[in-house]
Amino acid sequence: MVRRCHVCTERGNPQTSAPLSARVLDRSGALFLRIIPCVVTDDFVGHNKMTENIKKYAPVQQCIYCGATGVELTDEHIIPFALGGDVVLPKSSCKNCAKITGEIERQCLRKILGPLRIKLDYPTRRPKRRPEKLPINIQKESGISSHEVPAKKRPHVTCLFAFNYPGILRDVDPEILELEPVPAMWFNTVKSDQARAVAHSIDPSYKHIESEGWFNPVLFGKMLGKIGHAFAVAELGLGLQGFRALIPDALIGKAPWHNGYLVGGEPDQIVDSKKRLEVRFGRKKLFSGREFGVVRIRLFGHLGAPVYYVVVGEVIKKPGRSLLGRIFRGFK
């Protein structure tokens, strides 16, 4: 949970004002030190469509998570519809897996990204359920009071953490990884003068105006994992063409999910992008010789949001031909 005053943070140096206005605790109780504030102006509002590289993928006819065939299969949005994703992988998820991945996405889209999606006018399947009003806290000398304000005018906080590089690419033991602190996080809000106007209209004697944001790195990491895996299957095909798939078992609970191990990010990413959504596949070879397929994902790149990496597969090593060749030559 994050609470911050929308006026203080923008007014001052974010590093010094953060401990006063943002209370973000890791497991050891220490405050994260680095906060990058970003203002979402009205220029960013509008329907978010992936207009570039639209592809119609062929139906998979098998669940891409558990491998089930001969059952009823649903279509998967590679990036959720609610984030503007309109690329679909037809007949690719069984009902059980769709239930698991659907719940992960529902929580992320509603609880972590809900207010931001409302502000940006992103699509929803249930427009009637979209809240018209949302709460904010007004702090005065005498205490804090809660008030409802129109959802689009509400100063809100959305935090998207910038993760460290995926642990598997750094050869970190997945068991100790969860204790690593998250190195940075990212905020956005309305401009401080808009926040001040909202606070003033409620109570001119206000001292701070705060809203609450929520972030869960496990759920968010799993949502990224799902996007990465679905994209890898769409691009490479089932079986991932010579890669051993790493995401599905952990995603549907058949193997432990170690946060930060397969999913990570660019810890120092602050460069804006013109694109709202970016998904790309690439390969990464380590000094140890292990080679991985990595999907690079950026949601809200036009707002300066972090870049994430999902390690979707490891190259399956076959016995090296050159080595066998040498052995056989030796017998000649």
Q: Which residues bind Zn ion (CB under 5 A)?
A: 63, 65-66, 68, 94, 97
| 3-state SS string for 121-189 | CCCCCCHHHCCCEEEEEEEECCEEEEEEEECCCCCCCEEEEECCCCHHHHCCCHHHHCCCCCCEEEEEE
Least distance between Zn ion and beta carbon 106 (Å): 18
Three-class secondary structure of residue 89 per DSSP: strand
Between 60 and 223, CB nearer to Zn ion? 60
Element (H or E) spanning 328, and its range?
helix 321-331
225, amino acid identity: G
Least distance between Zn ion and beta carbon 242 (Å): 23
Whole-number CA gyration radius for the chain: 22
Least distance between Zn ion and beta carbon 225 (Å): 15
Least distance between Zn ion and beta carbon 98 (Å): 8
What is the C-alpha separation between 268 and 240, in angstroms, rounded? 30
Q: In which residue are the tokens 């890791």 written?
A: 26
CA distances from 25 to 19, 83, 186, 270 (A): 10, 28, 15, 22
Between 63 and 227, CB nearer to Zn ion? 63
Between 65 and 187, CB nearer to Zn ion? 65
Between 248 and 301, CB nearer to Zn ion? 248
Least distance between Zn ion and beta carbon 96 (Å): 5
Least distance between Zn ion and beta carbon 64 (Å): 8
Between 50 and 89, CB nearer to Zn ion? 89
8 A C-beta contact, residue 224 and residue 101: no
Least distance between Zn ion and beta carbon 109 (Å): 21
CA distances from 184 to 37, 159, 164 (A): 11, 10, 8
> Is the dihedral angle over the CA atoms 257, 259, 265, 266 positive or is it negative?
negative
Between 97 and 312, CB nearer to Zn ion? 97
Q: Which residues contact 54 (CB under 8 A, 6 or more apart)?
A: 86, 87
Between 226 and 276, CB nearer to Zn ion? 226
Least distance between Zn ion and beta carbon 222 (Å): 15
Between 68 and 270, CB nearer to Zn ion? 68
Q: Which residues contact 230 (CB under 8 A, 6 or more apart)?
A: 64, 76, 78, 89, 92
N-to-C CA span, the chain: 70
